[in-house]
Amino acid sequence: MKDFPVSQRSLVLPKPLNLVGNAFVPAQSGAEFEVVSPLDGLPFTTIADSGAEDVDAAVAAARAAFDGGAWSRLSAAERGRLMLKLSALILDHAEDLAQLETADNGKPIIQARADMQVTARYFEFYGGAADKVHGEIIPFLPGYNVEVQREPHGVTGHIIPWNYPAQMFGRSVAPALAMGNATVLKPAEDACLTALRIGELAVEAGFPPGALNIVTGRGDVAGRALSEHKGIDFISFTGSPEVGVMIQTAAARNFIGCTLELGGKSPQILFEDADLDAAIPFVVKALIQNGGQTCSAGTRALVHRSLWDRVVAEVAKTFECITASASDEDAVLGPLISAKQKRRVEGYIAEADAPLIARGRIASDVPVGGYYVAPAVFGPCDPNSRIAQEEVFGPVLAMIPFDDEAEAIRIANGTEYGLVAAVWTKDGARQQRVAKALRCGQVFINGYGAGGGVELPFGGIRKSGHGREKGFAALLEFSHIKTIVSNHG
Ligand code: NAD
């Protein structure tokens, strides 16, 4: 860590402005609020504190772009080319963007650098896919031709969280643009600077006015105004289940569709024949990545009782060596996003209803105002205990022993969530059996990617939400089907 505050770092900061119809404009009220860095708890810049009137302007700009504007007149291939250009610009600016992400979100620079590669990949993948969404011909009655076409929804709203600000931008907005929608993004107030910078790069890439609009502000003001807006045709939300319910209610009132990605309590199941040398590093990494602030973090380790002592000993040894730090180059664990999140996670640790197995540390030289929490692992946890059921969204692992396959499946499926799971076993039949039995949206066998892979459809069931992001599945979410029946006699 450099021994000066984040405000004195040389960062390429976006202006505290919204992006509306390719113009960079302040909130109409002129209001701004301070952006605090989790690294030191100090303000280092400002963003626009937008109101409903700013959302109105952004939705109007998107509507104009979609209804006959330059955006609507581009071919799918031309849209794709613009997206590839933006992808290249993100890569050109990857280091500046990563430094900005670390300052704004607190994540270790190694992770921020990886995030920028993934963000560019979203625009590359969906840029390449833009002209590859084909329709179908359905055999029907004699004398008829039936075409099934995929059409964009129109104006799509996007509300994203603070945990992967740049990646979430790509994940949510890129497939919508590829399908030809005009978009309005409300990034999270806790971390949105890279989204604003990428907005600047989109204008530089040549996106026509109104294709991409960005309005910053508070969730219960700007976010709410966007989700309830009569002018949007679809909304995509990633965040807490509590807000997810509000988004879905607002969508229902507007008779529009939505996708919700609301987090999880994802299990990794280590059967008695698991390759522990391969599995244990994943048990730790799938949790520690991004400080546990990952919707698909592997937050429960289900371990066959015959392996329990060895796995606990090795996980404990690794956890004890993990140090939350502000180090620029070698940190694996940074601060949490905010004082609120730190309080929440510390509350879970203090009130955990299971024995503490091990705790990591906080480096002695972290800035006093930063939001650092030492990681913690608990076990044996009762599968129904709070620490094994609720999403902590911090570096806290719950370890749970089991005796047989049926019990492992029961425990794995025994929360309100269903996002991701991992199965560690060399037995091929068991791999298939358990993967089929798990109620969630993604299963890894002998591996774990916290949501990993831009190409891979991702999303959950029940309290984890519904709809799919990533892969071609996301293009389908951001479109609807039109069936055209021609009677040619
Ligand atoms: P949140 O749901 O409040 O915020 C997510 C996004 O929703 C932000 O952009 C926010 O501005 C917006 N928002 C907030 N209130 C809104 C409203 N009334 N109408 C419309 N938009 C609104 O999440 P949080 O408070 O930042 O975090 C709380 C908890 O949510 C975390 O501890 C974690 O458990 C969970 N979470 C999950 C994810 C995920 O990736 N699934 C991401 C962030 C947080």
User: Any alpha helices (H) in 188-275, and if so which ranges?
Assistant: 193-205, 224-227, 241-253
Q: Which of 32, 192, 258, 295 is catalytic?
A: 295
Helix (H, G, I), strand (E, B) or coil at 198: helix
What domains sit in the chain, N to C, each tagged with a CATH number? Answer: 6-261+467-482 (3.40.605.10), 267-452 (3.40.309.10)
Tokens of 128: 């390449």
- One digit per residue, pLDDT tens: the chain, 489 residues? 445 789 888 999 999 999 999 999 999 999 999 999 999 999 999 999 999 999 999 999 999 999 999 999 999 999 999 999 999 999 999 999 999 999 999 999 999 999 999 999 999 999 999 999 999 999 999 999 999 999 999 999 999 999 999 999 999 999 999 999 999 999 999 999 999 999 999 999 999 999 999 999 999 999 999 999 999 999 999 999 999 999 999 999 999 999 999 999 999 999 999 999 999 999 999 999 999 999 999 999 999 999 999 999 999 999 999 999 997 788 899 999 999 999 999 999 999 999 999 999 999 999 999 999 999 999 999 999 999 999 999 999 999 999 999 999 999 999 999 999 999 999 999 999 999 999 999 999 999 986 579 999 999 999 999 999 999 999 999 999 999 999 999
Note if 381 is an active site residue: no
What is the whole-number distance in angstroms between the Cα of residue 262 and the centre of ligand 1? 9
Across 337-376, b (16+ Cβ under 10 Å) vs e yields bbeebbeebbebbeebebeebbebbbeeebbeebbbbbbb
- Tokens 């990533």 locate to 470
The answer to whether the predicted template modeling score (pTM) of the entire model surpasses 0.85 is yes
24 residue type, one letter: F
Note if 314 is an active site residue: no
Show the ligand 1 pocket: residues with CB < 6 angstroms.
159-163, 186, 188-189, 219-220, 223-224, 227, 238-240, 243, 246, 261-263, 295, 341, 344, 391, 393
